[in-house]
Chains A and B, each alone.
Chain A
Amino acid sequence: MIGEPLIVCDGVEYGYGEAQDGLALRGVSLQVSAGEHVAIIGPNGSGKSTLARHLNGLLRPCAGTVRIRGMDTRDPAHTRYIRQTVGMVFQHPDSQMVATVVEEDVAFGPENLGVPHAELHTRVREALEFVEMWDYRDRPPHLLSAGQKQRVAIAAVLAMRPACIVLDEATSLLDPRGRADLGRLVAGLRRQGTAIVSITHLMDEAAVADRVVVLGGGLVVAAGPPRDVFGDAERLAVLGLDLPAATALALRVRREIPDFPVDLMSVDEIVDAVAGRAAS
């Protein structure tokens, strides 16, 4: 499923306003391939959200380039295509609702693209069914829970048929159940070949990605598969980041049991590792 590069950032620099605090991005290079799940982690103020806003041209680099399927985000002629290709879901569910009824909210994007009526209906239905919100299509969005609103926000992006969805801390205001629902949804999107870029403070969320990119002070300071990135606990601590809980627990066990494995990423893995050793 992972194929040609969909998003290519090359030496991206960006500063806000008078740049009294210097640049928010100081030369970020990174690629996202079709169908890939990339998690971006880093402390508050490391440039994660600024980078996310570059991925569909909401922000344009001061120096360097961002290309989506080869198209430069600085060229306004490409903006429409780029926004269709890369969809964004933000942290605050409320700020993403534009219509008074769920179904219309999801139809808003494709309608603006001029999608014919019959296809519009199909797209909206498919998108809402995918996020399991079709039964709520007649509801006003403000009566939904935060988790349900985020699912509608994802449906609104899905109805645009994007190749990639960027989730900018989309789970941080959700309760554990809303978070788990969104996690399953992301897994489903990957299975059907949609690339995911998820920006998160939750290391357990980053642990399920194909690749983790660590930002610090506007630069990429580490990148690789979760097991490699989270394998370097000291480095992460210096950067002000946690380990996934499973990895932290495994490291603690290893202090007393020197040959205990530490590249564990989930509750299941750690339970199996302990049970396997206790049985042997």
Chain B
Amino acid sequence: MTASHGVTSAVGARAATGRADEALIRVEDLWHTYMAGTPFAQAALRGVTMYVCPGEVVGVIGHTGSGKSTLIQYLNGLLRPSRGRVVVAGYEVGRSNSGIEAVRRLVGVAFQDPEDQVFEPLVGDDVAYGPRQLGLAVDELRARVRWAMEAVGLPFDAFKDRYTYTLSGGELRRTALAGVLAMRPRVLVLDEPTAGLDPVTRSDVRERLLTLCRRDGLTLVLVSHDMDEIAGLADRVYVLHAGAVVASGPPREVFARPDALAPYGLLPPYPTQVCMRLRARGIPVRGDALTIEEAGAAIAAALRATR
């Protein structure tokens, strides 16, 4: 069984990243107020507009309380707009109940602490839990679980009968991810997918996510505090602050703009920070380096030039 199931067409779209008119998810002027109409009313989203195109990796960054988690709940119809619109693959969320199941099947969400989403005693049963509700034939179910587990780096035969309580943190995280993937969503929304993982596991999970995007046309919405992760994975990034989008664009452009992050208490990736500080001290290095490799090469070039 292959990983295609109707998402392969998105692969070609990746080259034309980020055109609003071909969006798979469109959020328009979305507002949300918690406990509206009470003295505790608190605005969580204040006119958010964003879009996600097929095959794209879109990053969402912002501090705790910036509205990220509220926004995520709109992307698969857990919340329904009372002001603004959310359109997923043509379905307008909240207009009627029809289509809401299709939206939930199109958009899979792994919330922060995905460990809390693992509840079956055995790994294989846990991954199978979602697709089992779809009433699939046993062979199809098994094939999906196998595919999802292999896709996240849990060899099916070695892990399907492991007890979930014996898993390490990294294995547990992969199990939770496989459970969402086994539903075969077109869009995967991940809240802090690699927080708490060791560096090797972190880069392995990132590689696998990229493979799912590039080979299988999966679309990814990535909510993360880890700017290196956003820099390495995202095609475009939205900066959220106090419920509003305050900056957006490719990470290289957004992270190099002094007004896009610092006023909101966010820091760019480490290499970008170093280069910006050096420029402020009059050392001519590029200001938009995103990786250790780019920053290191820029610093070495600047040092050679002064000799």
Contact = CB atoms under 8 A, between A and B. Distances in A.
B198 A42 contact: yes
Nearest to B62: A175
Contact of B197 (A44, A175, A178): A44
Nearest to A169: B196
Contacts of A146: 64
B283 A274 contact: yes
B90 interface: no
B225 A176 contact: yes
Contacts of B88: none
A245 B303 contact: no
Interface string A199-243: 001011000000000000000000000000000000000001110
B199 A242 contact: yes
A184 B266 CA distance: 17
Contact of A241 (B199, B265, B274, B281): B199
B113 interface: yes
B199 A271 contact: no
Contacts of B112: 173
State the majority secondary structure of interface residues on B.
helix
Interface string B66-105: 0000000000000000000000000000000000000000
Given A172-B196, A245-B271, A252 B296 contact: yes
Interface residues of B, number: 43
Contact of A253 (B169, B267, B303, B306): B303
Given A145-B65, A147-B64, A275 B170 contact: no
A21 interface: yes
Q: Assign chain A's interface to a size class.
A: 35 or more
Contacts of B169: 44-45
B63 interface: yes
A204 B199 CA distance: 12
B168 interface: yes
Contact of B170 (A44, A203, A255): A44
Contacts of B64: 145-147, 174-175, 177-178
Given A43-B200, A256-B300, A175 B225 contact: yes
B296 A253 contact: yes
A270 B274 contact: yes
Interface string B268-282: 001101100110010
A171 B65 CA distance: 17
A212 B196 CA distance: 18
A249 B295 CA distance: 7
Interface of A: 16-17, 20-21, 42-46, 91-92, 145-147, 169, 172-178, 201, 203-204, 240-242, 245-246, 248-249, 251-253, 255-257, 260, 267, 270-271, 274-275, 277-278
12 contacts: A42-B198, A43-B201, A174-B225, A176-B265, A201-B196, A204-B270, A240-B198, A242-B199, A245-B270, A245-B271, A249-B274, A249-B299
Interface of B: 63-65, 112-113, 166, 168-171, 192, 195-202, 225, 265-267, 270-271, 273-274, 277-278, 281, 283, 292-293, 295-297, 299-304, 306
